[in-house]
Each structure stands twice: as C-alpha cells, then as structure tokens.
C-alpha cells in the first residue's frame, strides 16, 4: 500500500498518520480564558523536545471546520498553560474533556474534576493529577491554514509538580505507579504499565 498524501483527503491523512505514529503521550492541558474560565482538553500531538531549557510542544490543530480551539485561543491571550498527567484512573474523564463546549463553559464541571493552584503560573493544575508541568509560552508556529492544520505551541516548563506517591526508588516517577495512558489510532488507547528496561550502551 502506497499513499500519495497530496491525492488523499485531509481527514484520511489524519486518520492514517495518527494510526502510524503510536503510541502517543497525552497532554491533558489546562488553560485560562480572559474571563477566568478554566479550559481542559487532551492533545496527543505532544512531546518533550529539550531539557536546557525544558521545552514541550503541543499542537492544538484547527478543527475539521477550520476553527481555532479554546486551548489555542487562551494560550495566545495569556501565554501560559499546564500539562497534567493523563492516567488510566482518569481515562474516561480525559475522553469526556475532548467534547466541544462553548468557551464560557468549563470542562471541570463536565468531568467533575477540581483545580489546584499552580506555583508559577496563573493557570491552575488538576488537583487529582499525579504530576503537572507549568509552562510559559515561547512561540506559536502555525503550519498550514486549513482544517486540521497544525499550531505548534512551544512552551518552557517553569515548574513541575510531582506527587510523592508516584515516585520510585531513584526519586523519579515509577510508570507502574503513574499508570499513564496514551493514544493509538482510531478509538484505541494504550496503557504504560507493561514495561521493560534496557540499559543504554556505553
């Protein structure tokens, strides 16, 4: 099977790409609107891209109708966001928070979750998430301008919250305790508790 991207619909390209680039971590992002409404949304176009300074990138793509998502609008307005741990315990709530709500309605009420004060940004974190990355915006890089086009939101991590309960012997998060989930293609998700270790070559 060979796919000519230029001759394929945007939706079909998205579905194939998201089925091939797997597993993808989930950034469960809280932002704050100009009116003080806490927005919560998951993004699997996400990863860490450096440590000096610590940098993460999320991509709130435009919708299939070409609309900018509330997450992107809020980050553009105040330059801050928080990435919360996406765990198996909250899998249903993560999925539910992807629903399209009016900008003046918070996904916190929809999911029944509560917010907690962050240490260095005005945007709150999720109180029940085992870790959270507080971020300040460095740059937004739009790529394309049509439906499902990318907006690379590059953020610097300025503070990290980690619940002591998920730390392992070395003082780092233990994947068996965090129980993060990730995205595959279509409606499929994955767990991160079935793990193996390999030492790096010298």
Instruction: Indicate which CATH number applies to the domain containing 52.
Output: 2.30.110.10
Helices (H) and strands (E) in the chain, counts: 5, 12
Which residue's entry shows tokens 């233990």? 174
- Could you tell me the two tokens for 154? 């590059």
pLDDT value of position 202: 87
76-99 pLDDT, tens digit each: 999 999 999 999 999 999 999 999
45-60 pLDDT, tens digit each: 999 999 999 999 999 9
- Could you tell me the two tokens for 103? 């900008």
Q: What is the mean pLDDT of residues 172-188?
A: 97
Residue 200 lies in a domain: no
| Number of domains into which the chain is organized | 1
Alpha-carbon gap, residue 145 to 59, rounded angstroms: 13
State the residue range of the domain holding 57. 5-191
Q: What is the pTM of this model?
A: 0.96
């Amino acid at each position: 099977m060979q796919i000519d991207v230029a001759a394929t619909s945007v939706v079909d390209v998205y579905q194939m790409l998201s089925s091939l680039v797997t597993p993808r971590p989930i950034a469960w992002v809280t932002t704050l609107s100009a009116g003080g409404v806490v927005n919560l949304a998951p993004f699997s176009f996400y990863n860490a891209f450096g440590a000096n300074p610590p940098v993460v990138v999320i991509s709130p793509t435009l919708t299939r109708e070409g609309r900018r998502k509330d997450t992107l609008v809020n980050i553009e307005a105040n330059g801050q966001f928080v990435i919360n741990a996406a765990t198996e315990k909250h899998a249903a709530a993560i999925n539910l928070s992807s629903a399209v709500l009016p900008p003046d309605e918070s996904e916190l009420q929809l999911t029944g979750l509560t917010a907690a004060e962050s240490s260095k940004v005005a945007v709150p974190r999720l109180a029940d998430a085992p870790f959270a990355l507080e971020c300040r915006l460095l740059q937004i890089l739009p790529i394309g301008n049509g439906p499902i086009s990318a907006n690379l939101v590059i953020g610097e991590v300025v503070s990290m919250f980690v619940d002591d309960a998920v730390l392992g012997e070395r003082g780092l998060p233990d994947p068996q305790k965090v129980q993060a989930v990730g995205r595959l293609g279509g409606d499929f998700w994955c767990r991160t508790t079935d793990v193996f270790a390999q030492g790096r070559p010298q």
